[in-house]
Amino acid sequence: MHYLVEKPLHGSPEWLKVRWKTEEGLARISASVAAVVHGQHPYMSKADLATDLLAPNPPEPAEANRAMMRGTTLEPVVADWAARLLGVELQEPIDMFCWDEPGVRLIATLDRVDQNDKVYEIKTISRHWNGTLEPYWYWQGVQQSICTGKHEIMWVIFDSSLDIHFHKQTVTSDERALHLTKCREFLAAIDMGMMPDDAVLEYKHVTKRFPVGEGGADAAVDLGPSVLAMLERYLLAKEQKAQAEQVEELIKAEICAMLGTAEYGLMQDELLVTWKTATRTSFDTKKFEAEHPALAEKYRKQTQYRTFRVHNKEKK
């Protein structure tokens, strides 16, 4: 079923919350991360997305990097330019487009639509576009097609040539069906409060999902004998990591001793290594606290975190 929801300010906490879950508290998949369920997103894994959807609170706005700033700054300019080239009127939708069916909940934020409700997706990239949609763009277009009921997505791409390229993506019923199946499989695990079976879980995911310990020793969990083999592997990995770091330091010391005060190392006029001088500016926290204790206290921030330790087995 198609329906619309009012779009809060793009990038705001309210906008992130709408994309995160429905009013009934059920997890949604947004178009920008649609490729994750296919394992084809370059910046987000299945475990990353699952962790966000299983978290007790919606994601917080991320600090804009240069690529994000480039996109938000140039998008209206590129949209206006494209409208003049195509001879159409492009407007930013005031709503977000949703698709719900049993087990599947999708949402899409559209960049622009024209007077005939044709969908336009605007991208700005710092490299030359080769004429083929990146997989994560491709699946974003498929989801936008599902959420809007439109079979065509017009891509407007501004690249390092300082020109606009147009690419029409025609989405087939088979592509839509495949994406819906992948989303249903992914959300089935989320709805049960579980990680998808093929998600590769890392420590950062568990820490984000369970940031604070509760109950103390009274809430201890019996891990069972099977955990002993895991602990042996963990301790072995720590030991191997320490040995590898020691070897790294020894080799680096030998090469840098050969360089001495030189910053470049060559072999037959080919650059092999550099050891350059750099300057780092840091804030002298101790001096600031000593000279302005009241002000320092005003801006002090307390952060909770959890520390994992192995007892009775870990070498001291």
Quote the DSSP letter at residue 27: B
SS3 279: coil
- Amino acid at site 269: D
Contact yes or no for 128/165 (Cβ under 8 A)? no
In tens, the pLDDT along 68-94 reads 888 889 999 999 999 999 999 999 999
Q: Does domain 2-191 have CATH number 3.30.300.10?
A: no
Contact yes or no for 314/235 (Cβ under 8 A)? yes
- Amino acid at site 223: L
Contact yes or no for 153/119 (Cβ under 8 A)? yes
In tens, the pLDDT along 151-161 reads 999 999 999 99
Query: Tokens 């490299």, residue?
Result: 127
Contact yes or no for 199/47 (Cβ under 8 A)? yes
Is the pLDDT at 278 greater than 50? The verdict is yes
Determine the Cα–Cα distance for residues 38 and 46; give it in Å rounded to an integer.
9
In this structure, the strands spanning 119-124 and 152-158 are parallel
What pLDDT sits at residue 316? Answer: 46
In tens, the pLDDT along 127-159 reads 999 999 999 999 999 999 999 999 999 999 999
Domains of the chain, by residue range, sit at: 2-191
Q: Which of 28-32, 87-91, 149-153, 280-284 has the lowest mean pLDDT?
A: 280-284
Average pLDDT of the residues in 20-42: 96
Higher pLDDT, 38 or 66: 38
